[in-house]
Amino acid sequence: MRTAILYGAAMASGALDGILTYGISHMKDIGGLKPWQWTFLLEGSPIIPLGIITYLFLDNIPNAVQWLNNMEKQLLTNLLRNDAGVADSESTSGTRFSWLQVRYVFIDWRIYFYGLINIGNATVL
């Protein structure tokens, strides 16, 4: 569901961006700026406050947030530990890089299928 929302929002933003850019392109030398300069200002300026808000409200660790319950905090903490490779030192000790692992990536049909999905998604518009 989250992926569908992400792709749907990307398509909607592409459609709205075209309409916005069309309108901006008719702003001939308003304020001494060319239309492409207005495009950069009007489409890029919301990112600055959004970045500041995100920096202020996102915490580095799951235990510091108030909008998760204890079970969700524990789940995220475990996922972060597993991702960092420190959850079970016995299972990760002695693990080395293997070209066999690389081979498995290239023969896995799911990798190619996912690539086809992304190509299809990118070429729709």
Structure tokens at 89: 């030192």
What per-residue confidence (pLDDT) applies to 88?
52
| Whole-prediction pTM | 0.48
Q: Amino acid letter at 52?
A: I
Instruction: Summarize pLDDT for 50-106 with one digit per residue, the tens.
Output: 999 999 888 888 888 888 899 999 999 998 888 776 545 555 555 677 888 889 989
